[in-house]
């Protein structure tokens, strides 16, 4: 079952571009999106621990970050496209 995760990271982990490149190498990450600095929305069928371990390994255990599942008990001021991704686990067309 696909799940939505929020990855939040400090500058000590890397730049937005470096984290984007990392996510592109993780086969468990099906879709990612961002619209805020230092945060990505991730869609995956895998668990948070597996994604965490792959990010940690990619950055050689350096930097701070957290990956947490986004559940129904979530609120925020996001774009419509980001909410659509979180709720539907797919990119909104158009």
Instruction: Match 């937005």 to its residue by tokens.
Output: 16
Instruction: Return the ∠ at Cα 84 (arms to 22 and 44), rounded to 5°.
Output: 35
* Average pLDDT over the chain, rounded to an integer: 96
| Overall size of the chain counted in residues | 94
What is the pLDDT, as a whole number, of residue 93?
Answer: 83
What is the pLDDT, as a whole number, of residue 65?
Answer: 98
pLDDT per position as a tens digit, 8-36:
999 999 999 999 999 999 999 999 999 99
Can you state the angle between helices 16-25 and 48-58, rounded to 10 degrees?
Answer: 120
Q: Could you tell me which of 76, 94, 93 has the C-alpha nearest to residue 4? A: 76
């Amino acid at each position: 079952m696909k799940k939505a995760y929020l990855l939040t990271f400090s500058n000590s982990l890397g730049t937005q571009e470096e984290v984007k490149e990392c996510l592109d190498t993780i086969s468990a990450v099906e879709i990612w999106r961002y619209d805020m600095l230092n945060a990505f929305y991730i869609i995956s069928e895998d668990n948070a621990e597996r994604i965490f371990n792959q990010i940690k390994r990619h950055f050689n255990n350096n930097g701070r970050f957290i990956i947490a599942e986004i559940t129904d008990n979530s609120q925020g001021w996001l774009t419509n496209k980001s909410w659509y991704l979180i709720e539907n686990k797919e990119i909104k067309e158009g």
